[in-house]
C-alpha cells in the first residue's frame, strides 16, 4: 500500500471517529446531576463492623447474605480524624460530613475558632431543594445536629433543640425525641410543644406518619417509645415499634410530596450502631447494621423508580470499639445466635434474677440463687454452656464473680459510655463475643478509616474521596447546591 492510500485510510478512520464522538454523545457521558440525594451515616460503623455483620448473616442465614451497600458499584474509604485528634467524636465528624470543615472534638457546626459553619441541608434549601434528617437517636444528637446546629459543645442539647425548631431549612426531621439537659426540668415533650407552637407538625408513632405525601409545612416525626429518646435497639424491638425504615419512608413521602419536581437532600443516621459498639455487644451491633441496611432497602426502592436522578451514599462517622474479626485464625459467628437481647435488656433481667434494685443495692430479703441458676441464666440469654463451651479459667472467673456478688454482696458494675452493666453480664458477653471471634479492643472510638459506598447518579465522582471533608463538597458540586 502506498503512502497516499495509507494516509487516505487514516483520514477516513479519523473522520469516522469524529462522527462517532459527536458533541451530543459527549453530552451523554457528562456527569449526571442527582436530584434526590440520600446520605446514610452508620454511627460507629467501621469496616469490620460491616463485614462482621455480613459474616454472621452468611453463617446463620439470619439477615441478608450480602449487606446491600457492600454491593454498591463505588466503594472506597475515607479518613475521619478531627482538628483536635486523630480519633474523632461524632460531633466533629458530623460537622466534617455535613459542612466539609474539620473541627475539634465536641465542636458542633462550628470551626476550630468557634465560628458557625454551614452545610448540606442549608445549601440545598437555599437553592430551593427539600432537606431532611432522620436518626434512631435523639433529633438533637450530634450527627443529625451537625446538619443544622451550631454549638461550642455537642452537650448543649437544649440550645441545639431550639436550633432545630428555628431551622426553617429543615423540612423533615425524625428520631427518638428531643434530648434535654439535666436539672432543667424539661423533657422531650417540652420541646415537642415548642415545635408545635412554632407551626411545625409533630407526629408520634408510625401510624401517625404513614402518608405524609400531602402534608404541607415542616414535620418532625418521633417514635412512640416514651421512656427514652433512643429508638429501642433493633433486637429489642416489638413488631409494633417505630423503626428507622418507618422514618425513612415518612421522610421520602414528605420530601417527594413537596419537592418531587425540584429534588431533595436527606441525611439518615443509624445512630445506635455506635451505642452497641461502645457497649462491646457484637450481636446488638450486627442487628443495628442489619436494621440500617433495611432502611437502605427503603431508599433502594425509591432509587428503582428514579434510577437516573438518585444518588445514595453510605458511610460512617468513625469506628467504635476497635473491633477485630477472628481470634488467631478462628471465627464462629454462629455462636452469637443464642444471644437474643441487648446488653441493657439482659442487665434488667439479671437485676431481677439477682434481687438487686435499680439503685444496684441488694433488695431486702432477697433469695440468693445458687451458682447453677446463674449458669442457667447465662445459658438462656447468651448460649453459654449450651452452645458456647466455657473454658476452665473462665468457669473459675464466673465462680469468683458469683462469690463476690452473691456471698460478699459486692455488686460490681462496668460503665460504658451510654450504659452501666453488671460485671457478670458484661464479662459473659465479652467472653461469648470472643469465642465467636468478635474481639473488642476497648469501649471508645478509634482512628480507623471508614468505608464510603456509593450508588447512582454521579457515584463514580466519589472515587476521588480520601477524607470525610471531601464528601459534602462533591455532593454540593454534583447536585448544584
| Residues near Zn ion (CB under 5 A) | 274
Sign of CA dihedral 281, 271, 118, 149: negative
Helix axes 392-402, 371-382, angle to 10 degrees: 120
What DSSP assignment string belongs to 385-448? TTTB---HHHHHHHHHHHIIIIIS----EEE-SS-EEEHHHHHHHHHHHHHHTEE---SSEE--
CA 225/CA 296 separation, integer angstroms: 23
18 CB burial (10 A radius; 0-12, 13-18, 19+)? exposed
The least distance separating Zn ion from the CB of residue 273, rounded to whole angstroms, comes to 9
CA 439/CA 420 separation, integer angstroms: 20
The least distance separating Zn ion from the CB of residue 332, rounded to whole angstroms, comes to 27
Residue closer to Zn ion (CB basis): 195 or 273 = 273
Residue closer to Zn ion (CB basis): 156 or 274 = 274
The least distance separating Zn ion from the CB of residue 42, rounded to whole angstroms, comes to 12
Name the 3-class secondary structure at 282: helix
Position with the least CB separation from Zn ion: 274
Nearest to 310 by CA among 322, 289, 321, 296: 296
Residue closer to Zn ion (CB basis): 93 or 347 = 93
CA 21/CA 27 separation, integer angstroms: 10
168 CB burial (10 A radius; 0-12, 13-18, 19+)? exposed
Residue closer to Zn ion (CB basis): 246 or 269 = 269
The least distance separating Zn ion from the CB of residue 320, rounded to whole angstroms, comes to 5
- Torsional class of 238: left (φ above 0), alpha (ψ -120 to 50), beta (otherwise): beta
Residue closer to Zn ion (CB basis): 428 or 450 = 450
Angle (nearest 5°) at CA 142 between 145 and 433: 145
- Torsional class of 35: left (φ above 0), alpha (ψ -120 to 50), beta (otherwise): alpha
The least distance separating Zn ion from the CB of residue 417, rounded to whole angstroms, comes to 6
Residue closer to Zn ion (CB basis): 122 or 274 = 274
Residue closer to Zn ion (CB basis): 223 or 274 = 274
Residue closer to Zn ion (CB basis): 96 or 221 = 96
The least distance separating Zn ion from the CB of residue 397, rounded to whole angstroms, comes to 28
The least distance separating Zn ion from the CB of residue 75, rounded to whole angstroms, comes to 23
Residue closer to Zn ion (CB basis): 46 or 251 = 46
The least distance separating Zn ion from the CB of residue 444, rounded to whole angstroms, comes to 8
Residue closer to Zn ion (CB basis): 246 or 317 = 317
Name 267's bridge partners.
Answer: 39, 133
CA 37/CA 40 separation, integer angstroms: 10
The least distance separating Zn ion from the CB of residue 272, rounded to whole angstroms, comes to 10
Name the 3-class secondary structure at 315: strand
Name the 3-class secondary structure at 28: helix
The least distance separating Zn ion from the CB of residue 452, rounded to whole angstroms, comes to 19
Name 314's bridge partners.
Answer: 40, 453
Amino acid at each position: 500500500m502506498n503512502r497516499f492510500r495509507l494516509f487516505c485510510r487514516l483520514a477516513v478512520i479519523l473522520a469516522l471517529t469524529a462522527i462517532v464522538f459527536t458533541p451530543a454523545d459527549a453530552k451523554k457521558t457528562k456527569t449526571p446531576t442527582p436530584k434526590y440525594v440520600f446520605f446514610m451515616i452508620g454511627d460507629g460503623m467501621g469496616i469490620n463492623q460491616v463485614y462482621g455483620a455480613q459474616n454472621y448473616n452468611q453463617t446463620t442465614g439470619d439477615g441478608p447474605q450480602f449487606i446491600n451497600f457492600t454491593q454498591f458499584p463505588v466503594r472506597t474509604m475515607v479518613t475521619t480524624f478531627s482538628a483536635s485528634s486523630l480519633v474523632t467524636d461524632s460531633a466533629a465528624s458530623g460537622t466534617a460530613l455535613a459542612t466539609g470543615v474539620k473541627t475539634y472534638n465536641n465542636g458542633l457546626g462550628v470551626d476550630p475558632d468557634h465560628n458557625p459553619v454551614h452545610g448540606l441541608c442549608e445549601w440545598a434549601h437555599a437553592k430551593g431543594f427539600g432537606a431532611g434528617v432522620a436518626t434512631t437517636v435523639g433529633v438533637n444528637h450530634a450527627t443529625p445536629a451537625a446538619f443544622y446546629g451550631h454549638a461550642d459543645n455537642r452537650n448543649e442539647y437544649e440550645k441545639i433543640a431550639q436550633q432545630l425548631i428555628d431551622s426553617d431549612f429543615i423540612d423533615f426531621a425524625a428520631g427518638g425525641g428531643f434530648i434535654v439537659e439535666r436539672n432543667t426540668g424539661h423533657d422531650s415533650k417540652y420541646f415537642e410543644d415548642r415545635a408545635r407552637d412554632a407551626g411545625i407538625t409533630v407526629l408520634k408513632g408510625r401510624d401517625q406518619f404513614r402518608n405524609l405525601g400531602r402534608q404541607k409545612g415542616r414535620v418532625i416525626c418521633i417514635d412512640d417509645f416514651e421512656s427514652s429518646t433512643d429508638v429501642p435497639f433493633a433486637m429489642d424491638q416489638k413488631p409494633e415499634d417505630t423503626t428507622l425504615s418507618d422514618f425513612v419512608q415518612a421522610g421520602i413521602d414528605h420530601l417527594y410530596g413537596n419537592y418531587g419536581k425540584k429534588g431533595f437532600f436527606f441525611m439518615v443516621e443509624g445512630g445506635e450502631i455506635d451505642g452497641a459498639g461502645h457497649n462491646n455487644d457484637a450481636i446488638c451491633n450486627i442487628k443495628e447494621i442489619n436494621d440500617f441496611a433495611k432502611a437502605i432497602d427503603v431508599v433502594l426502592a425509591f432509587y428503582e423508580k428514579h434510577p437516573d436522578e438518585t444518588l445514595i451514599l453510605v458511610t460512617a462517622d468513625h469506628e467504635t470499639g476497635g473491633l477485630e474479626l477472628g481470634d488467631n485464625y478462628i471465627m464462629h459467628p454462629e455462636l452469637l445466635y443464642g444471644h437474643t437481647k441487648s446488653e441493657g435488656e439482659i442487665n434488667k433481667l439479671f437485676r431481677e434474677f439477682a434481687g438487686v434494685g435499680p439503685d444496684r443495692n441488694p433488695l431486702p430479703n432477697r433469695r440468693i440463687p445458687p451458682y447453677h441458676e446463674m449458669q442457667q441464666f447465662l445459658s438462656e440469654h447468651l448460649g453459654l454452656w449450651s452452645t458456647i463451651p466455657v473454658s476452665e479459667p473462665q468457669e473459675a472467673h464466673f465462680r469468683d464473680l458469683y462469690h463476690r456478688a452473691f456471698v460478699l454482696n459486692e455488686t460490681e458494675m462496668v460503665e460504658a459510655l451510654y450504659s452501666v452493666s453488671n460485671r457478670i453480664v458484661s464479662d459473659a458477653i465479652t467472653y461469648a463475643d470472643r469465642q465467636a471471634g468478635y474481639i473488642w479492643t476497648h469501649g471508645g472510638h478509634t482512628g480507623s478509616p471508614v468505608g464510603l459506598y456509593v450508588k447512582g447518579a454521579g457515584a463514580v465522582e466519589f472515587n476521588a474521596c480520601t477524607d470525610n471533608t471531601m464528601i459534602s463538597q462533591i455532593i454540593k458540586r454534583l447536585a448544584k447546591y
